[in-house]
């Protein structure tokens, strides 16, 4: 647990408006040492329950806490895409490759996470340790039991002998679950969890329960990175910088945490949380495999959302996933898109749409487009007409998801009016481009990407968030 006062501090700013990383990086001792703040925090953070306990987590010892906020790299600032941004993207892709190489590789003394491995990989893991292959299958059963019954620690592998469990722990083998750091529930049932990772970074994941044709659905919106280097102007995550990519176990864990919170299985997964999944392709693909094969989420019920990273859509096409690729377009032309998405400068819309066509040819799966409606910026009838004509002419008229902008701190955009949203949708459909308006879920729980994480850090105690209920 974290002391309130240090985290509640608002971000300091330097003269050029960049955040002061040092002011944001207090090393905070566990709250239990300071009884007063500890009591205050306990009301707001998750109680130490089965769902919140980490593998080796112990809330009663000093925990060095890296702030959830990720400061931007030196030199990165709002405005046009610059070399420093391109460098951050290259670094992010390299980091993803390194993370993927290390996941699943036992390194002397380094913690090794089992979560994210498939049954066949776990069988091999067992064989490598001189155990019969079926022990690997038993481990898989414990890891992916679901609905809150999934193992949190090696001690939960109750079908393995105590001796084997002790041996695994001695080799620093872990399940790889995060600690539940905070829960925020909105009145419509949408729930955001902040998960504290083993390096004390915090990511958010969202559970969205819904009923469709009488059947219940539980969608989990997962993060793929800690922070994001893409800098989309209206996105809360993009207001900060990039720290690192999530490993497969850290992605899969988000789904298990949502299952534990709701006590039921997740039916759909959308990679629409923090981060740009196509900067983290190898780990996203590994997580996808585990979600599909082990947790049983149908590939068609998994959506990977991207703002576009040159060269990455073909990597995804190569994987031949039967999943939905959603492209965040947000503008009907290059000039406007660049003002909303600075990175569009180096991956022009023409190239992006051509890659979407190629994706369709290669996989037989049409691309879905997301369009965040920003009041007075990209939501006018002429924008709808231009978008409709563009997608129809290119034979890309698959589906447009219209997302009304969710207000984000430090961003001046406005939410469009209901009438504007309806008119935009009607114009698209009049041009034979199917469109739907995404119902804003959990606005009161800080719905936009990365927003809760930012909000939580600024208002760790004083915010309107409900106490933990897990």
Residues belonging to the active site: 204, 449
Q: At closest approach, how far in Å is the CB of 437 from ligand SAH?
A: 12
Q: At closest approach, how far in Å is the CB of 83 from ligand SAH?
A: 21
Judged by beta carbon, residue 197 or residue 222, the one nearer ligand SAH is 222
HSE, CB side, 13 Å, CA atoms: give it for residue 336: 18
**Which residue of this chain has its Cβ atom nearest to ligand SAH in the complex?**
448
Q: At closest approach, how far in Å is the CB of 422 from ligand SAH?
A: 17
Q: At closest approach, how far in Å is the CB of 36 from ligand SAH?
A: 36
d(CA 315, CA 312): 5
Do residues 186 and 442 lie in contact, with contact meaning Cβ atoms separated by under 8 Å? yes
Name, in order, each residue with C-beta under 8 angstroms of 212's C-beta and a sequence gap of 6 or more. none
Q: At closest approach, how far in Å is the CB of 256 from ligand SAH?
A: 21
Judged by beta carbon, residue 295 or residue 307, the one nearer ligand SAH is 307
**Buried b / exposed e along 307-339 (16+ C-beta atoms within 10 A):** bbbeebbeebbeeebebbbbbbbbbbeeebbbe
Judged by beta carbon, residue 234 or residue 359, the one nearer ligand SAH is 234
Distances (CA, A) of 102 to 55, 95, 174, 253: 20, 11, 14, 17
Do residues 254 and 195 lie in contact, with contact meaning Cβ atoms separated by under 8 Å? yes
Interface residue list for ligand SAH (CB under 6 A): 232, 234-235, 272, 276, 305-307, 328, 370, 372, 403, 405-406, 408, 448-449
Judged by beta carbon, residue 151 or residue 447, the one nearer ligand SAH is 447
Judged by beta carbon, residue 21 or residue 307, the one nearer ligand SAH is 307
The CA angle 412-418-424, to the nearest 5 degrees, is 90
d(CA 396, CA 390): 8
**Buried b / exposed e along 423-440 (16+ C-beta atoms within 10 A):** bbbebbeebebebebeeb
């Amino acid at each position: 647990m974290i002391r309130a006062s240090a985290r509640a501090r608002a971000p300091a700013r330097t003269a050029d408006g960049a955040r002061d990383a040092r002011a944001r990086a207090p090393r905070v001792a566990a709250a239990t040492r300071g009884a007063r703040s500890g009591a205050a925090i306990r009301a707001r953070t998750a109680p130490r329950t089965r769902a919140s306990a980490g593998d080796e987590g112990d809330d009663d010892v000093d925990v060095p806490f890296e702030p959830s906020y990720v400061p931007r790299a030196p030199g990165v600032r709002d405005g046009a895409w610059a070399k420093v941004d391109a460098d951050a993207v290259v670094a992010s892709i390299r980091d993803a490759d390194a993370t993927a190489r290390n996941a699943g590789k036992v390194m002397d003394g380094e913690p090794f996470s089992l979560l994210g491995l498939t049954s066949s990989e776990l069988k091999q893991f067992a064989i490598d340790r001189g155990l019969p292959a079926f022990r690997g299958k038993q481990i898989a059963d414990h890891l992916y039991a679901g609905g809150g019954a999934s193992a949190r620690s090696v001690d939960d592998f109750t079908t393995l002998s105590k001796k084997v469990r002790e041996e695994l722990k001695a080799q620093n083998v872990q399940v790889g679950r995060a600690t539940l750091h905070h829960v925020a529930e909105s009145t419509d049932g949408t729930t955001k969890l902040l998960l504290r990772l083993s390096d004390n970074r915090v990511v958010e994941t969202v559970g969205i329960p819904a009923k469709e044709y009488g059947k219940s659905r539980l969608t989990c919106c997962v993060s793929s990175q800690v922070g994001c280097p893409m800098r989309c102007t209206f996105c809360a995550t993009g207001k900060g910088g990039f720290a690192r990519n999530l490993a497969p176990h850290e992605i899969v864990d988000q789904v298990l945490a949502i299952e534990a919170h709701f006590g039921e299985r997740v039916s759909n997964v959308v990679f629409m949380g923090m981060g740009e999944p196509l900067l983290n392709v190898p780990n996203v693909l590994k997580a996808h495999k585990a979600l599909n094969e082990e947790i049983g989420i149908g590939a068609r019920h998994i959506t990977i959302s991207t703002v576009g990273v040159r060269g990455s859509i073909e990597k995804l096409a190569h994987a031949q996933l039967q999943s939905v690729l959603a492209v965040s377009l947000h503008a009907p032309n290059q000039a406007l898109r660049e003002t909303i998405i600075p990175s569009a400068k180096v991956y022009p819309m023409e190239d992006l749409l051509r890659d979407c066509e190629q994706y369709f040819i290669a996989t037989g799966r049409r691309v879905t487009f997301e369009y965040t409606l920003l009041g007075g910026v990209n939501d006018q009838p002429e924008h709808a007409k231009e978008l409709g004509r563009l997608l129809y002419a290119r034979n890309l008229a698959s589906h447009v998801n219209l997302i009304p902008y969710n207000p984000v701190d430090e961003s001046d955009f406005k939410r469009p009016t209901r009438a504007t949203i309806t008119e935009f949708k009607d114009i698209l459909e009049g041009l034979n481009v199917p469109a739907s308006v995404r119902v804003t879920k959990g606005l009161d729980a800080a719905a936009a990407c990365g927003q809760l994480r930012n909000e939580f850090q600024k208002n760790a105690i004083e915010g309107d968030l409900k106490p933990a209920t897990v």
